[in-house]
Amino acid sequence: MQNLPPLAERMRPQNLDEYVGQKHLVGPDAVLRKAIQSGQLPSMIFWGPPGVGKTTLAYIISQTLDRPFFNLSAINSGVKDIRDVIERAARLKDSLMGVPVLFIDEIHRFSKSQQDSLLGAVEKGLVTLIGATTENPSFEVISALLSRCQVYILQALDEEELRGLLDTAILEDEVLKQKKIKIKEHEALIRLSGGDARKLLNVLEIAVNGIGGDKITLDNENVLKHAQQNLALYDKAGEQHYDIISAFIKSIRGSDPNGAVYWLARMIEGGEDPLFIARRLLILASEDIGNANPNALLLANNCFQAVNVIGFPESRIILSQAVTYMASSVKSNAAYEAINKAQQLVKQTGNLPVPLHIRNAPTKLMKNIGYGKDYKYAHGYEGNFSPQEYLPEQISGTKLYDPGNNPAEDKLREKLKQNWKDKYNY
């Protein structure tokens, strides 16, 4: 038993029917399942958080299509390794074994020259590239390579899917099924996993081994007792990286500059890419500070540019300035909530027609049928404002932006009240 692989590896699915999650991609009639079934597989990038099945899905694709499978990690592979794999792939293709699948984990860690070395093979069809990344590929993958790949976004597993994984592991794993395991409470298991299937199974295995015996009841208390102290040691795949960035962001959001700069130091000492940190600050400046302090976005953008120019070790000072300022700043998530509400409204109501008076009217015909008619040019009115309708008729009066309770947004709210009176109930 001691030589068995970890539970997460033992439970790795072998086909699409066993695969959990990503129904929007591989469920019945979903876009990626159709591509796999047709055999017309493009090169692609899987973008999503850790533990959602990026590596597993790539392997299942190669097995489903009976294609050779090559696996490289960007952490320990260089240009020579890439060229060696491409040469082997070309020989296999010539021997009519099919176009090999080349899976590159953490492709965002590849340098430009490493990514350039993939271009020729992808263009010539020597390999079907599947890259996996936890970072936005628009930032991390060179445009020439990105334009030749389809990007698929993988989502964190929901609670129902995670519970299903636990039940399946207890019933089917060769070790666990020999024990009588009852899960009395799921909250600690789910919370410690963070939506990461691999970590969930790691936590389950640690808790089971820690409690010991053949009759085991898992509750929140004993899961936390055994898992928290061992999980970081068990974390061979580096998921603690995501816990630390989470702690960093939540410290800034919670207005604690001391916690924020501590987690910043942890990332710096751990060798984190400074641009990764600076990008997170850009997002946070709008998501958590927003119009309560618009200067935060300007500072974050300047921080990103400065870090890009300066590099380590000096950029640690620039990051510290931005982090402590943003942590100390007044907060608002009103802009973030506004776009969430707006997108949800679009999903619910579909493509509502643009009101005629604010449509574009570049031709005489369009003007004749009413495009742009009765539009009131705001700058032609007192206070640069005219109370006309800007939303489709079906959703007129819907308030999406609700200013936060802070001095800057209080002023915005008063201005909106003055302009719109009772229309949006500001």
Specify if 33 maps to a domain: yes
Question: What domain range includes position 297?
Answer: 240-328
Percentage of residues of the chain with pLDDT beyond 90:
29
Which has the minimum average pLDDT: 91-95, 141-145, 340-344?
A: 91-95
What's the token pair of residue 33? 């399942």
Summarised one tens digit per residue, pLDDT across range 368-409 is: 655 567 788 888 888 899 889 889 989 999 999 999 999 999
Residue after which a domain boundary falls, among 234, 254, 274: 234
Q: Total domain count for the chain?
A: 4
- Regarding whether 31 and 92 lie in a shared domain, the answer is yes
Which CATH number does the domain housing residue 281 bear? 1.20.272.10
- Regarding whether 166 and 211 lie in a shared domain, the answer is yes
Q: Report the C-alpha gap between 100 and 125 in whole angstroms.
A: 9
Q: Report the C-alpha gap between 334 and 332 in whole angstroms.
A: 6
According to the model, what pLDDT value does residue 234 have? 46
pLDDT category of residue 258 using cuts at 50, 70 and 90: very high
Q: Which residue, among 121, 119, 105, has the nearest Cα to 53 in the 3D structure?
A: 105
According to the model, what pLDDT value does residue 261 have? 96
Mean pLDDT of the chain: 85
Instruction: Evaluate if residue 365 carries a pLDDT over 60.
Output: no
pLDDT category of residue 363 using cuts at 50, 70 and 90: low
- Regarding whether 138 and 63 lie in a shared domain, the answer is yes
Cα pseudo-dihedral 76, 80, 82, 84, rounded to 10? -120
- Regarding whether 117 and 60 lie in a shared domain, the answer is yes
Residue after which a domain boundary falls, among 132, 153, 174: 153
Residue 101: beta bridge partners?
69, 128
- Regarding whether 48 and 170 lie in a shared domain, the answer is no
Other beta carbons less than 10 A from residue 63's beta carbon? 14
Residue after which a domain boundary falls, among 216, 234, 252: 234
The sign of the dihedral angle between the CA atoms of 291, 292, 298, 304 is negative
- Regarding whether 137 and 204 lie in a shared domain, the answer is no
Strand, coil or helix: 330? coil
Task: Catalogue the E-assigned strands of 79-149.
Answer: 101-105, 128-133
Instruction: Evaluate if residue 329 carries a pLDDT over 90.
Output: yes
Other beta carbons less than 10 A from residue 34's beta carbon? 12
According to the model, what pLDDT value does residue 95 have? 67
| DSSP secondary structure string for all residues of 178-222 | GSEEEES--HHHHHHHTT-HHHHHHHHHHHHHHH-SSEEEE-HHH
Which CATH number does the domain housing residue 206 bear? 1.10.8.60
pLDDT category of residue 233 using cuts at 50, 70 and 90: very low
pLDDT category of residue 242 using cuts at 50, 70 and 90: confident
pTM of this prediction? Answer: 0.62
Instruction: Evaluate if residue 3 carries a pLDDT over 80.
Output: no
- Regarding whether 75 and 28 lie in a shared domain, the answer is yes
Task: Catalogue the E-assigned strands of 42-127.
Answer: 44-47, 69-73, 101-105
pLDDT category of residue 230 using cuts at 50, 70 and 90: low
Residues 391, 376 contacting (CB under 8 angstroms):
no
Q: Which residue, among 290, 302, 385, 362, has the nearest Cα to 329 in the 3D structure?
A: 290
- Regarding whether 126 and 61 lie in a shared domain, the answer is yes
- Regarding whether 310 and 251 lie in a shared domain, the answer is yes
| DSSP secondary structure string for all residues of 136-179 | -HHHHS-HHHHTTSEEEE-----HHHHHHHHHHHHHH-TTGGGS
Residue 69 parent element (H or E): strand 69-73
Summarised one tens digit per residue, pLDDT across range 108-160 is: 888 788 888 888 888 888 888 899 988 888 877 888 888 888 899 998 888 89
Which has the minimum average pLDDT: 87-91, 145-149, 260-264?
A: 87-91
According to the model, what pLDDT value does residue 1 have? 47
Q: Which position has the higher pLDDT, 245 or 374?
A: 245
pLDDT category of residue 229 using cuts at 50, 70 and 90: low
Instruction: Evaluate if residue 100 carries a pLDDT over 70.
Output: yes
